[in-house]
Amino acid sequence: GAVVSQHPSRVICKSGTSVKIECRSLDFQATTMFWYRQFPKQSLMLMATSNEGSKATYEQGVEKDKFLINHASLTLSTLTVTSAHPEDSSFYICSAVPGGSAVNTQYFGPGTRLTVL
Amino acid sequence: GNSVTQMEGPVTLSEEAFLTINCTYTATGYPSLFWYVQYPGEGLQLLLKATKADDKGSNKGFEATYRKETTSFHLEKGSVQVSDSAVYFCALRRILTGNQFYFGTGTSLTVIP
In tens, the pLDDT along B14-54 reads: 999 999 999 999 987 788 999 999 888 777 889 999 999 99
Rg over CA atoms, chain B:
14
Question: B100 and A59 in contact by Cβ < 8 A?
Answer: yes
Pairing label, strands B11-14, B107-112: parallel
Question: A43 and B105 in contact by Cβ < 8 A?
Answer: yes
Pairing label, strands B32-38, B86-93: antiparallel
Q: What is the pLDDT of residue A52?
A: 83
Residues of chain A neighbouring B50 (CB-CB closer than 8 A): none
Given CB atoms, is B111 within the 8 Å cutoff of chain A? Answer: no
CA distance B102 to chain A (A): 7
The per-residue pLDDT string of chain A (117 residues; one tens digit each, 9 = 90 and over) reads 678 999 999 999 999 999 999 999 999 999 889 999 987 777 788 899 888 888 898 988 999 999 999 988 999 999 999 999 999 999 999 999 888 776 667 888 989 999 999
